[in-house]
Structure 1
Amino acid sequence: MDDQKESLRKIITTLALKNEEIQNFICCLKQSLENLEVNSNRVQEDLESEFSSLHAVLDELKEGMVTRVKRERASRTYELQSQLSACTKALESSEELLELANQTLCSSENDSFTQAAKEIKDSVTMAPAFRLSLKAKASDSMNHMMVDFTQERNMLQAITFLPVPATPEIHVAECLVFDNTVTVVWTLPEPDSKIDHYILEYRRTNHEGPPRAREDYPWMVMEGIKETEYTLTGLRFDTRYMTFRVKACNKAVAGEFSELVTLETHAFVFKLDAGSAHQNLKVEDLSVEWDSSGGKVAVQDIRKEKNRTSSPMHSPARTAMMSPKRAPSARVGRDRFTAESYTVLGDTMIDAGQHYWEVRFDKESKAFAAGVALRSLSRFDQLGKSTASWCIHLNNWLQQSLTAKHNNKARTLDCPFPDRIGIYCNYEEGELSYKYDKMSKIFRFHNLHTFRTKFQQPVIPAFMVWNGSFSVQTGLQVPSIVLSGQKRNSNTSSSNASLT
């Protein structure tokens, strides 16, 4: 009995679910009927509007052509009527002269005959009839304004509904990802002269393969594309993959989107670790500004710190001997740089691969440095003054200099202060190269310096600034020109061996 009840309950549950599915389907059908009514009315209205526009064009064309015929007829009528009037007057004058000549010929008086004959001769010479052109000034033919609408009539008879454009196909093998640009290439199954443009959509994603139910990034839309390829420029690849889709559009309707294609856009992305920054450095996202008041504390805070412990590090004598630049701070952390090491590190280590980032700095900065360091870099170490860091150092205090530094050795670089520096790190090859730009508007790569070493441990981007500011741009791919340049120089000896 219980088994039968349980079986019946399952049947009831199944029927209820099926009924719910049917009800939902009925609702969908009703909604589809309503949508069909609305959409068909909209299409019919659009069709009537298009035909009305076509009729208006034909009416306007007819009116213009009829007007041209009327103007041509009026012009020729005027010419012919003017010529007819002139000829009629000339004929009347000629007839009068002819009658006078006949009368004179019948005269019997010799004296009057001679005089009259002379006058008639002079009149005939000046008669309008002998100055007239007996050729019509205008033709009565209007054949040049005849029309033949056979071709246009055939075109009109061929008018039909526009087909929905076919679905494009993106060719992954022909798509290119380089220099912070992506070139997407696609084709249609068959040529279609009705295609007006394409719409390309893309969005960042965090995984490879088909899309997930929910994505973190919205679709970005590129409209009005006339060719079957498009290049996106100025990108920042702060995720590893990007998904693309494209659809074709004619004048009336858009087709279906292509199958989604995911392209790898790997680039080195990091942020500045504010927790590692010296107290005098104000870190905001990827920008750093020197703040001379960042390490100052109130006197009472110093007393509290002094009374908190009896360690010699906090003794009054020790405090009195400290440099003004090493003023005690209430926020000193275990990993924060201190003393005169005005340093901040990135938050992502490099332990493999090739990576690239750029840095812009204020040329008025008193001192600036950029490079890489081991995570074990002491919080008292200055960049380039130990075996744990490599950097380019700009000195703008007392005298200007640009040097490459490592292990407390420096090499002076013969180069003007650049606006922007590109940093390329090839971990496996033990290469750290600096690129600079001679032009301020178009970034052109010129080699500033190359460190060649063997990284025994992972390294991390490192920066230093004193009395100045700088900003970092990450999410950049290694530029193809840098890669090609490094390949050409891979077999050449480094002139910077003394710094490695």
Structure 2
Amino acid sequence: ITLLEELAWFSSYLNAISSSFQQQTLENNLTNLVKRNSELENQMAKLIQICQQVEVNTAMHEAKLVEECDELVEIIRQRKQVIAVKIKESKVMKLRKLAQQIANCRQCLERSSALITQAEQSLKENDHARFLQTARNVAERVAMATASSQVLIPDVNLNEAFDNFALDFSREKKILEGLDYLTAPNPPSIRDELCTASHDTITVHWTSEDEFSVTSYELQYTIYTGQTNFISLYNSVDSWMIVPNIKQNHYTVHGLQSGTRYIFFVKAINQAGSRNSEPARLKTNSQPFKLDPKTAHKKLRLSNDCLTMEKDESSLKKSHTPERFSGTGSYGAAGNVFIDSGCHYWEVLLGACTWYAVGVAYKSAPKNEWNGKNSSSWVFSRCNNNFLVRHNGKEMLVEASLQLRRLGVLLDYDNNALSFYDAMNSQHLHTFDISFLLPVAPTFMIWNKSVMILSGLPVPDFVDCPEQQDGGCRQQDSPYSSGLKGCN
């Protein structure tokens, strides 16, 4: 009995749990269904609103069509009246001139007829004396009339009377036949492959399918902050720079920040409205620089273009490693720029060089010390088979390939970061987190062979990925003390 009671209780318990579970499931499904119904109602309300707006817009367009056509008909009516008046005025002028000529001809004809009658009567005179008396006067008048017969030719030009006016509406008819419902132009397309950049300019090129219906273009741009919601980004009007009334399909923007990525939109505009292109992300190149001969050690040779530095191998002691922290040990040179903003990238072609230090330094950094020994410089170094980063006399080993031949340096001054990369393998090596206080200059030191500087480069895409960076140099975690133990 007890077992049966327990089974009954357990069954009741299971039923209760099942009922509770079913109830909870039903409540959740009901909540989801109510939410979906609400979403559908909102969607249907929006669709109904759009339908109403379509009706309103269509009515507006129809009214506009009637208005534009009526205006066009009124212009034609006015021009018809003006041309009709000109035709009537031309007719009156020509008829008045012809009437005057007809009157002159009639007078000449009457005088000529009277003279003919008088001459005929004289010829009929049989009395010689009387004939001589009248014939002389009549003969002179006939001779004069004959000599002046040119006056009787009408001054009428049939070409002027009939061919000097023509109605040619062929051009207008062709325009009228081409009348159509004008819509906003199709969105233009930014051609990334045609766009070019320098360290402070970007030239944007675009194409448009409706080039002949576009009255102008408008270019909009802003600094790209990593925001992926372009609609929200576009609606933040305050952050956008606008270049209006562009007539060509390209434009060069000046005064941009070096090594910075921008978002560009192009808007095609006509009387019906405008449409935007898809966003394009374009970036400026880094600030170009060369090696400054004034900062170069006397035992370094710089190329004529100041982009290559070479160590005088004869001065390198064969018995031990390079001089330590002495005035003769800082075989280096600095770039001829001081950077205080923006994002900048350069590369160092290392070749066969196995002793070097590359980084940045304040102007106040001591000139007779290795870069990285003091608090004013940060470097990535190679000492034979060891790679390390060094700052303020502390150093930390870094994993890198002995085949490292192209060292990439990214200085993101505004975001307080200095990063190093194996540029050939797109591999991140190290990042310093630095709170920059002063402008910094690129610095380079070598103790054997030579290196070449490549500056003014665009920031490669592979350095834009935050997940590739390791959070910088945490000196408090470094297992090394001051000095160059890593180079021994």
Q: Using structure 1 for the length normalisation, give the TM-score.
A: 0.51
The offset of 1:139, in angstroms, is 1.8
The offset of 1:243, in angstroms, is 0.3
The offset of 1:191, in angstroms, is 6.5
Give distance in 2, aligned partners of 1:267 and 1:143. Answer: 72
Which one-letter code corresponds to 1:90 in the other structure? C
**3-state SS of paired residue (1:227):** coil
What's 1:305 paired with? Answer: none
Q: Is 1:78–2:99 an aligned residue pair?
A: no
| Superposition pairs of residues 95-134 of structure 1, within 5 angstroms | 95-127=113-145, 130-134=149-153
Which one-letter code corresponds to 1:42 in the other structure? M
Give 1 or 2: higher helix fraction: 2
Contact 2:199 2:285 survives alignment (8 Å)? no
What's 2:214 paired with? Answer: 195
Q: 1:120 to 1:248 in 2, by over 3 A?
A: same
Which one-letter code corresponds to 1:219 in the other structure? W
Q: Is 1:157–2:135 an aligned residue pair?
A: no
Which one-letter code corresponds to 1:22 in the other structure? L
Give distance in 2, aligned partners of 1:352 and 1:149. Answer: 65
Give distance in 2, aligned partners of 1:265 and 1:157. Answer: 48
What's 1:336 paired with? Answer: none
| Superposition pairs of residues 169-208 of structure 1, within 5 angstroms | 169-188=189-208, 190=209, 192-207=211-226
Q: 1:191 to 1:174 in 2, by over 3 A?
A: same
Q: Is 1:263–2:282 an aligned residue pair?
A: yes
Contact 1:206 1:240 survives alignment (8 Å)? no
The number of residues matched between the two structures is 304
Q: Is 1:221–2:242 an aligned residue pair?
A: yes
What's 2:303 paired with? Answer: none
Give distance in 1, aligned partners of 2:47 and 2:343. Answer: 58
Give distance in 1, aligned partners of 2:92 and 2:73. Answer: 28
**3-state SS of paired residue (2:125):** coil
Give distance in 2, aligned partners of 1:351 and 1:191. Answer: 39
**3-state SS of paired residue (2:213):** coil
Cα deviation per residue 1:3-22 (whole Å; 9 max; x = unaligned)? 33323322331232123113
Give distance in 2, aligned partners of 1:479 and 1:7. Answer: 63
Which one-letter code corresponds to 1:11 in the other structure? N
Q: Is 1:166–2:186 an aligned residue pair?
A: yes
Cα deviation per residue 1:44-79 (whole Å; 9 max; x = unaligned)? 232223223322332233233323322322232122
Which one-letter code corresponds to 1:126 in the other structure? M
**3-state SS of paired residue (1:82):** helix
- The two structures, once aligned, show a CA RMSD in angstroms of 4.2
**3-state SS of paired residue (1:180):** coil
Q: Is 1:32–2:50 an aligned residue pair?
A: yes
The offset of 1:123, in angstroms, is 1.3
What's 1:461 paired with? Answer: 439
The offset of 1:261, in angstroms, is 0.8
**3-state SS of paired residue (2:38):** helix
What's 1:57 paired with? Answer: 75
- Which one is further off, 85-94 or 107-116? 107-116
| Superposition pairs of residues 324-335 of structure 1, within 5 angstroms | none
Give distance in 1, aligned partners of 2:220 and 2:408. Answer: 38
Contact 1:79 1:138 survives alignment (8 Å)? no
| Superposition pairs of residues 86-101 of structure 1, within 5 angstroms | 86-101=104-119
Cα deviation per residue 1:52-108 (whole Å; 9 max; x = unaligned)? 332233223323332332232223212211211110000111111122223333334
Give distance in 2, aligned partners of 1:46 and 1:152. Answer: 21
Q: 1:233 to 1:23 in 2, by over 3 A?
A: same
Cα deviation per residue 1:442-464 (whole Å; 9 max; x = unaligned)? xxxxxxxxxxxxxxxx995289x
Give distance in 2, aligned partners of 1:351 and 1:83. Answer: 92
What's 2:327 paired with? Answer: none
Gaps of 5+ in 2: 1-18, 288-337, 348-358, 375-406, 410-433, 442-454, 458-488
Which one-letter code corresponds to 2:129 in the other structure? D
**3-state SS of paired residue (1:145):** coil
Contact 1:207 1:241 survives alignment (8 Å)? no
Contact 2:345 2:408 survives alignment (8 Å)? no
Structure 2 residue corresponding to 1:138, chosen from 131, 150, 157: 157
Give distance in 2, aligned partners of 1:206 and 1:97. Answer: 109
The offset of 1:251, in angstroms, is 4.0
Cα deviation per residue 1:310-347 (whole Å; 9 max; x = unaligned)? xxxxxxxxxxxxxxxxxxxxxxxxxxxxxxxxxxx987
Contact 1:76 1:139 survives alignment (8 Å)? no
Identity of paired residues, percent? 24
Q: 1:99 to 1:4 in 2, by over 3 A?
A: same
Give distance in 1, aligned partners of 2:154 and 2:100. Answer: 13
Q: 1:462 to 1:147 in 2, by over 3 A?
A: closer
Which one-letter code corresponds to 2:244 in the other structure? E
Q: 1:252 to 1:143 in 2, by over 3 A?
A: farther
Q: Using structure 2 for the length normalisation, give the TM-score.
A: 0.52
| Superposition pairs of residues 250-329 of structure 1, within 5 angstroms | 250-254=270-274, 256-265=275-284
What's 1:247 paired with? Answer: 267
Q: Is 1:232–2:264 an aligned residue pair?
A: no
**Which has the greater radius of gyration?**
2
What's 1:47 paired with? Answer: 65
